[in-house]
């Protein structure tokens, strides 16, 4: 049976009256109060309730509190056991989740219940709803300006070991043999005893981990031979072929080995193995990045403020508006447009976006412009536009003059292929002192500078990158590195406790929503302190004005000399009560 409380309904009596005023103020000003009043009512309870019966079975845990516990677990990077303890005993969790009763039905949570709820959220892809709704709520509440945003990625690791090629081969074979022994015992007996002992023996895997570099190549050949033998032995057995571990063996063989006709089996060189190859049989979704290694990557877009005033920064919320999880081998070039389309669909799309050069390809810049977004990013350095940024162009992309001030004899433009040809006089180009660095090439009648619209746009961007205006705008991109550090430090996103794309996506997205919550709580506390400081300053000005007025007119109205102001302690108490 479904249990859902309406957290927007006010109680007749305050259920939190037992908390002292000072502790209550800390709860209200911190993340528990913000979570209870703003985030808790936005959780996707209506989307998860159809998976429970409304009139049959035992009562569920209160669904708002259950989903809230999943979010708080990721916020604080807790294991299931730690999350259960916090749910049972931590008053901050009770206040945030609206649990005021003292019964076990309200304040006790079974680890299996937590696990089942998490699986339900993962299987039905509900974690994006949690992020989107909480993001929208905080953006409205704190008046977040989404016109300027910045985008970057962070590499994360699932709960898996980093394996060498030898480790990938040996563990894949070992996993298959173990599963075969459990699921198809009669087929397991048919495997060669020596091969079984080699991978399932008492010290089998540890022996492979101690292989010396001098014999690594020979060991790889032996492993690939054993892998091929197992694949061939069971390829005609449908029950074995349907096993997940058998398919992993086929995948590893295709990615690391090759065999053609009667040619002997060979192991591919490491540089020929694709980056999306299997990195660990325990996590088939993890891929490889040549710079950061095995794992996944998370694309993060956030708002930012362009001010150096410390007090104003503290009172401005930098909100994460987009988060997406990808395999590690996917280039950042493909992440910009999905991020813009996602934020545009939710009404938080920026007008300008800061990003590094990986996001700033010419295609991305042009497509972003069609969406009404300006991409501020350095262009990728290459040889296609060598020295072209030194040429002068008109607004249509035609060359006006070369770096030496020489105008072309003529310039043609083929609009269909977006190609330009600028023709320069031969005698001028032959005697040019910068001939060695010029991209113009000699022809029969002229020296020809051939370029496309893309080359022109890149050359123009490179000129703008040297300007003070671009440097001033682009300096704010560095702030997202602090966000990535905070993302990893506060929520533990760098090293997750789960494996597989679905579980990794769940954790990364909820941790981003949690980071928004923690940031919003800091901003709320800073705004409250600013209001108290302003009230104290106004009270002090009023006191000083009164003293000056009293001193000036004390001789005219004698009774005023008897008027006294409250002492400082009384004034502070009055301010605290007013706040």
> Per-residue b/e over 94-130, b at no fewer than 16 CB within 10 Å?
bbbbbbeeeeeebbebeeebbeebbebbbeeebbbbb
Q: What is the pLDDT of residue 78?
A: 95
Distance CA 301, CA 340 (A): 9
Collapsing DSSP to helix, strand or coil, 8 comes out as: coil
- Over residues 485-516, the pLDDT tens digits come to 999 999 999 999 999 999 999 999 999 999 99
- Over residues 271-323, the pLDDT tens digits come to 889 888 989 899 999 999 888 889 999 999 999 999 888 899 999 999 999 99
**551, pLDDT greater than 70:** yes
Instruction: Give 423-483 as a DSSP string.
Output: EE-HHHHHT-TTGGG---EE-SSSEEEEEEHHHHHHHHHHHHHTSHHHHHHHGGGGHHHHH
Model confidence at 450, in pLDDT bands (50, 70, 90)? confident
Take residue 463 and report the two structure tokens written for it. Answer: 């000129």
Distance CA 45, CA 64 (A): 6
Q: Give the Å distances, CA to CA, from 311 to 173, 315, 318, 337.
A: 60, 7, 14, 34
Q: What is the pLDDT of residue 162?
A: 86
- Tell me the backbone φ, ψ of residue 11, rounded to 5 degrees: -85, 150
Take residue 132 and report the two structure tokens written for it. Answer: 């989107």
CB-based contacts of 80, cutoff 8 Å, min separation 6 = 73, 111, 114, 115
Model confidence at 384, in pLDDT bands (50, 70, 90)? low
Higher-confidence residue of 26 and 558: namely 26
Question: The domain 148-155+297-373+477-522: what is its CATH number?
Answer: 3.30.420
Q: What is the pLDDT of residue 555?
A: 65
Q: What is the pLDDT of residue 392?
A: 83
Question: In the chain, where are the structural domains located?
Answer: 21-124, 148-155+297-373+477-522, 165-272, 388-471, 537-578
Q: What is the pLDDT of residue 466?
A: 86
**352, pLDDT greater than 60:** yes
Take residue 68 and report the two structure tokens written for it. Answer: 């809230």
**409, pLDDT greater than 90:** no
- Tell me the backbone φ, ψ of residue 415, rounded to 5 degrees: -65, -35
- Over residues 216-244, the pLDDT tens digits come to 888 888 899 999 999 999 999 999 999 99
Take residue 166 and report the two structure tokens written for it. Answer: 């030898």
Sign of the alpha-carbon torsion through 523, 524, 530, 534:
positive
Q: What is the pLDDT of residue 569?
A: 55
Collapsing DSSP to helix, strand or coil, 354 comes out as: strand
Collapsing DSSP to helix, strand or coil, 393 comes out as: strand
Query: Among 150, 138, 157, which residue's Cα sits nearest to residue 513?
Result: 138
Q: Which whole number is the average pLDDT over 90-101?
A: 93
Q: Which whole number is the average pLDDT over 184-192?
A: 92
- Over residues 125-146, the pLDDT tens digits come to 999 999 999 999 999 999 999 9
- Over residues 418-434, the pLDDT tens digits come to 888 989 888 888 888 88
Radius of gyration in angstroms for the set of CA atoms belonging to the chain, rounded to a whole number: 33
Whole-number average pLDDT of the chain: 88
Q: What is the pLDDT of residue 565?
A: 52
**264, pLDDT greater than 80:** no
Cα 451 to the chain's mean position, in Å?
38
Q: Give the DSSP H/E element, type plus range, for residue 293.
A: strand 293-303
Q: Which whole number is the average pLDDT over 60-78?
A: 94
Longest pairwise C-alpha distance within the chain: 119
C-beta atoms surrounding 509 within 10 Å: 23
> Per-residue b/e over 234-263, b at no fewer than 16 CB within 10 Å?
beeeeebeebebbebbeebbebbbeeeeee
Q: Give the DSSP H/E element, type plus range, for residue 414.
A: strand 410-414
Q: What is the pLDDT of residue 559?
A: 57
Cα 286 to the chain's mean position, in Å?
16
Higher-confidence residue of 423 and 562: namely 423
In sequence order, the β-bridge partners of residue 297 are 155, 326
Model confidence at 54, in pLDDT bands (50, 70, 90)? confident
> Per-residue b/e over 316-353, b at no fewer than 16 CB within 10 Å?
bbbbbbbbbbbbbbbebeebbbebbebbeebebbbeeb
Q: Give the DSSP H/E element, type plus range, for residue 124.
A: none
Q: What is the pLDDT of residue 515?
A: 96
Sign of the alpha-carbon torsion through 55, 122, 109, 24:
negative
Work out the angle between the directed axes of helices 501-553 and 111-123 (0-180°, nearest 10). Answer: 100
């Amino acid at each position: 049976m479904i249990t859902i409380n309406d957290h927007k309904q006010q109680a007749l009596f305050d259920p939190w009256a037992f908390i002292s005023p000072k502790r209550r103020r800390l709860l209200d000003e911190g993340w528990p109060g913000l979570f209870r009043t703003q985030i808790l009512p936005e959780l996707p309870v209506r989307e998860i309730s159809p998976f429970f019966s409304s009139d049959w079975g035992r009562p569920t845990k209160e669904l708002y509190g259950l989903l809230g516990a999943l979010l708080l677990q990721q916020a604080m990077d807790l294991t299931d056991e730690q999350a259960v303890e916090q749910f049972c005993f931590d008053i901050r969790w009770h206040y945030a989740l609206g649990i005021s009763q003292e019964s076990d039905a309200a304040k006790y949570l079974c680890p299996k219940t937590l696990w089942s709820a998490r699986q339900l959220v993962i299987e039905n892809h509900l974690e994006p709803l949690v992020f989107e709704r909480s993001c929208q709520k905080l953006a409205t509440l704190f008046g977040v300006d989404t016109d300027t945003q910045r985008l970057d990625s962070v590499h994360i690791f699932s709960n898996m070991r980093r394996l060498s090629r030898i480790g990938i081969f040996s563990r894949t074979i070992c996993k298959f043999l173990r599963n075969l022994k459990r699921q198809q015992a009669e087929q397991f007996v048919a495997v060669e005893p020596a091969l079984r002992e080699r991978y399932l023996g008492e010290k089998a895997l540890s022996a492979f981990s101690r292989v010396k570099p001098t014999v690594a190549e020979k060991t790889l050949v032996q492993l690939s031979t054993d892998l091929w033998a197992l694949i061939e032995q069971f390829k005609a057995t449908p029950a074995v072929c349907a096993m997940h571990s058998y398919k992993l063996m086929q995948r590893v063989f295709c990615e690391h080995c090759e065999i053609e006709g009667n040619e002997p089996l060979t192991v591919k060189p490491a540089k020929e193995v694709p980056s999306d190859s299997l990195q660990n049989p325990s996590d088939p979704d993890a891929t490889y990045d040549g710079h950061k290694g095995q794992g996944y990557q998370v694309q993060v877009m956030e708002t930012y403020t362009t001010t150096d005033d410390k007090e104003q920064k503290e009172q401005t919320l930098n909100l994460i508006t987009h988060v997406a999880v990808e395999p590690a081998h996917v280039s950042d070039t493909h992440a910009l447009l999905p991020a813009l389309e996602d934020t545009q669909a939710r009404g938080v799309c920026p007008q300008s976006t800061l990003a590094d050069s990986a996001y700033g390809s010419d295609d991305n810049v042009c497509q972003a412009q069609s969406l009404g977004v300006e991409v501020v990013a350095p262009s990728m350095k290459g040889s296609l536009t060598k020295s072209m940024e030194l040429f002068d162009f008109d607004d249509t992309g035609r060359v006006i003059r070369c770096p030496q001030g020489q105008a072309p004899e003529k310039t043609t433009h083929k609009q269909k292929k977006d190609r330009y040809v600028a023709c320069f006089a031969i005698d001028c180009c032959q005697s040019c002192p910068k001939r060695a660095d010029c991209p113009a090439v000699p022809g029969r009648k002229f020296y020809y500078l051939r370029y496309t619209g893309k080359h022109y746009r890149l050359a123009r961007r490179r000129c703008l990158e040297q300007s003070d205006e671009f440097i001033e705008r682009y300096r704010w991109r560095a702030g997202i590195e602090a966000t990535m550090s905070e993302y990893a430090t506060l929520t533990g996103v760098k090293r997750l406790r789960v494996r597989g794309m679905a579980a990794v996506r769940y954790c990364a997205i909820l941790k981003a929503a949690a980071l928004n919550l923690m940031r919003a709580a800091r901003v709320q506390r800073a705004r409250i302190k600013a209001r108290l400081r302003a009230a104290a300053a106004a009270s002090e000005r009023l006191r000083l004005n009164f003293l000056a007025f009293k001193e000036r007119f004390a001789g005219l109205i004698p009774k005023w000399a008897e008027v006294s102001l409250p002492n400082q302690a009384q004034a502070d108490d009055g301010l605290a009560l007013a706040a």
